[in-house]
Chains A and B, each alone.
Chain A
Amino acid sequence: MLEVQSLTKSFFGTAAVDDVSFRVEDGEILGFLGPNGAGKTTTMRMITGFLPPTAGRVSLAGVDVLARPLEAKRHLGYLPETLALYPEMRVREYLAYRARLCGVSRRDATARLSEALEKCFATDVADKPIGNLSKGYRQRVGLAAALVHRPMVLVLDEPTVGLDPRQIMKVRELIRDLKKDHTILLSTHILPEVELLCDRILIIDRGKIVAQGTPETLRQEMAQHPGLVVVLKGEIPEADVALKQIPGVAHASRIGAAGETRVLLESAERADLREAVFREVLARSWTLLEMTPRQASLEDVFVRLVAREEPDVEDAAAILARERAKTAEIPSFSEGPK
């Protein structure tokens, strides 16, 4: 179990993390979402005892991290965002070192080591120097190092970053598998990953929690505002502004595409916007190419919550759309050890 109570961190008077509280139960995966710079890594660093919080309390498996750091950190497995291993060490040596560091006895170490290597599909590189490994394998070694002392709580900061699609699938499988014995806090900004893995989601922006709940509840909240994607011929800069004037439209944002204009509309209530949009397009004598109702996805939730007031909403939406397209196609090729 992981518990965070009104955690706050200020740097030079500005709060990077502001009064964040949440709980992750045993056997649960909590997805920790937020745009870059929202305070995800800072929060994780406070949870792992690496950064002292300005205020608040963290407990790992019931042990207070601030009051009894050594005991609390025994229950913690942490995969940092910038994973730095010792390139000169062999994988087995490194894991043995980590095991000893975490107080595993010499007798148990061998067994724990093979177990961790196996879980992370890294047995075949066990005797290679870490410096010679590909990024994917290094990530797996990092994960194995986080598991080697069988911690109760796992804190994973963007575990699939930099991996190829096949490795991403494997790591996701692994994380789902780890859920049985661990409490997991998973930070990521890959939204499909969250939908696939997490039991609950927490969205943080500018240091504050802006939403939390199961993926379903968040989506349902979003279903109150059905979306409509309108595609117009040619580039029409004023399109989003014009379409936003239509009664019933809560939000309009451009989602890129060259040579045409693509606008995502969100209705205020469960209103059907199609007719109104059609008349508006007709009145302005634009050419309507496409009009597609859109199922609310987590991305919509995310963009709405996090990027609503920002000037570059269009960009955020475009990036997310692209990212979704990218993760959807999974080519099958395997990568062997270098």
Chain B
Amino acid sequence: MRALVAIVKREFLSYFVSPLAYVILTAFLLVSGSVFVLLVNALNAPETPSTAMMSLYFTNVFQWIFLMIVSSVISMRLLSEERKTGSIESLLTAPVSEATVVVGKFIGGWCFFLFLFLPTLVYPLLLSRYGRFDIGPVAAGYLGIALVGALFLAAGTFASALTKNQIVAAIVAFAIILGSFLVGIFRDLLPSANLRDALSYLNILDHMDDFSRGIVDTRRLVYVGSTVVFFLFLATRALEVNKGK
């Protein structure tokens, strides 16, 4: 447990000594702020039907594509950097298991992902000042973001365990994440109804839609939880096989 905490802490803090963290933070705030302003403007136009503002903030595809890129970039260095420099040897000869390393790194990266959203708490604050505001759906929306972020980062951790090259890790991570995102969206093109049902279970946007309306469905939690565990398991296996190479 001590080791896990130590790894999480080091991993999280190490983001802030690289320029990458600040680039991501800035870009994220820029994009997310623009999305917010655009949405507010659109909703202010008299012809738009009234909806909950934050619900749109959580579910617009534009923001999601950007988050996929951000997640791939956050996760790319987790394991590949250690393998490239060789510090993985010192790490794994300490009394820690591969699984602890993988989980610790995943949590560290995930904490950074969550950290990105800290400044966005200003948006609901602003909205509550100027209008009717329901805290429930917003809280559920943030929970949804945290869960989908966990899913993206778990996939990214796995990709990072596959290669020593960070760029390759980022591209593989993005491919996995985008792939899982798209199968949900294009499910209607499929002929079989069973397959459609199965794929709609994987649809991340549907998940977010639920959360942003304040619905915390246990099926969603199970889906994210099991997928995260699955990817981290794969990452552990990949690390066990690849570490000495």
Chain A contacts to B: CB under 8 angstroms: 45, 48-51, 69-71, 73-74, 76, 78, 80, 82-86, 88-89, 97-98, 100-105, 142, 145
CB pair B94 A73 closer than 8 Å: yes
Nearest CB of chain A from residue B109's CB, rounded to whole Å: 16
13 A-B interface contacts by CB (under 8 A):
A51-B244, A70-B97, A74-B95, A80-B89, A80-B90, A82-B89, A84-B86, A88-B17, A97-B6, A100-B2, A102-B94, A103-B2, A105-B2
Tell which of B2, B14, B17, B93 has the most Cβ of chain A within 10 Å: B93
Nearest CB of chain B from residue A102's CB, rounded to whole Å: 5
Tell which of B6, B87, B95, B244 has the most Cβ of chain A within 10 Å: B95
Residues of the B chain whose Cβ atoms lie less than 8 Å from the Cβ of A98? 94
Nearest CB of chain B from residue A295's CB, rounded to whole Å: 40
Q: Is B96 engaged at the interface, CB distance under 8 Å to the other chain?
A: yes
User: Which of B7, B18, B86 is close to A101, meaning CB atoms less than 8 Å apart?
Assistant: B7
CB pair B85 A71 closer than 8 Å: no
Nearest CB of chain A from residue B20's CB, rounded to whole Å: 12
Residues of the B chain whose Cβ atoms lie less than 8 Å from the Cβ of A84? 85-87, 89-90
Q: Is B92 engaged at the interface, CB distance under 8 Å to the other chain?
A: yes
Contact string against A for B residues 86-108, beta-carbon threshold 8 Å, 1 for contact and 0 otherwise: 11011111111100000000000
CB pair B7 A80 closer than 8 Å: no
Closest 7 CB pairs of A and B: A100-B6, A84-B87, A84-B86, A73-B95, A88-B17, A84-B85, A48-B93
- Number of contacting residues on B, CB 8 A? 24
Residues of the B chain whose Cβ atoms lie less than 8 Å from the Cβ of A89? 10, 14
- In the docked arrangement, what's the CA distance between A104 and B93, Å? 15
Residues of the A chain whose Cβ atoms lie less than 8 Å from the Cβ of B96? 70, 73, 101
- In the docked arrangement, what's the CA distance between A263 and B179, Å? 69
CB pair B93 A49 closer than 8 Å: yes
Given contacts A70-B96, A74-B95, A101-B96, contact A85 B3 (CB under 8 A): no
- In the docked arrangement, what's the CA distance between A101 and B87, Å? 14
CB pair A100 B5 closer than 8 Å: yes
Q: Is B213 engaged at the interface, CB distance under 8 Å to the other chain?
A: no
Nearest CB of chain B from residue A53's CB, rounded to whole Å: 12
Nearest CB of chain B from residue A54's CB, rounded to whole Å: 13
Given contacts A50-B243, A97-B6, contact A102 B89 (CB under 8 A): no
Nearest CB of chain A from residue B75's CB, rounded to whole Å: 18
- In the docked arrangement, what's the CA distance between A301 and B92, Å? 36
Given A69-B97, A73-B94, A78-B90, 9 additional A-B pairs, CB 8 A: A73-B96, A78-B93, A80-B90, A83-B90, A98-B94, A100-B3, A101-B94, A101-B95, A102-B94
Residues of the A chain whose Cβ atoms lie less than 8 Å from the Cβ of B95? 69-71, 73-74, 76, 101-103
Tell which of B5, B89, B91 has the most Cβ of chain A within 10 Å: B89
Residues of the A chain whose Cβ atoms lie less than 8 Å from the Cβ of B94? 73, 98, 101-102
Chain B stretch 148-165: residues in CB contact (< 8 A) with chain A:
none
